[in-house]
Chains A and B, each alone.
Chain A
């Protein structure tokens, strides 16, 4: 299968003296996987999401996302990668107030050079896909928390990205809406999208087939390779 994410002893340090928020992570995610990256706050999981999402570059090691070597790409090329291959879902939803759901979702393809009419058409399809067909003309303040996160997910998948990244997608939701959002992510995954979810909640992570635990900027366990049996990881952390 095609590798969507391939991190090789990736490091990301901040400031002087350098603090390693990501201290040598090697991780491979293949197309069609549904992965939860789980760790307490301060474990470096957000840094990891930034690196996987190409919002940030490693200070050492190599990151190959959707077949592209992040280290060798310009800022504009990384923007193009995000515009065409990666979808993001955020804990705080990031929905513009006073804008109709259909236009929020259409903005998911704003930087792909698709004309507005076609963007809206595809946004309608995406909203239907997340079960919000009757809510296309509603504004964020007319939607429940769960519905808002569904709008955000529709925005992330409207451009049919190969990789969907979700940062604490259920963090601001009650358990019922949270469960429905997780079910939606599973559905999208079944339809072929690679989904990586970041969470601090072990219960949420338990709902995913593959769980990668991080702590202090390192991967401490990966359910795909029980008992730390991943030769790849052992090789680099040795």
Chain B
């Protein structure tokens, strides 16, 4: 279930802690990066690999907001809706993307090209409104033009692994 190269990555995290359990947070992230979401099989494999009880892994998964328990679309576009971004029009940004892409906020559709989500303060408030794409790339000072470009670029690249 866990690919050899992912085991290498997980082992590097295990080495940072006196107790391998510390590595669970990153082991789950590595599995999610690989499969796009966390299935029961992935979670059980992490428990097995780190030699901890499955429940100890499930309770971690349900606590942290970056983990996904169902597959979303090919790309995740997260819009910050904390106060600074709200004051800069975050909900107008969401409306704009919903209308343009025909998607609904927070709807996880595996067939969709884009999954639009709202997220909490991304720590880039000077560049509000802010979007985070595929949990990796920040887009600041959003304008309709920037969003058009961002969405066009996502049409061109492959989905997250």
Chains A and B form a bound pair: no
Q: A-contacting residues of B (Cβ < 8 Å)?
A: none
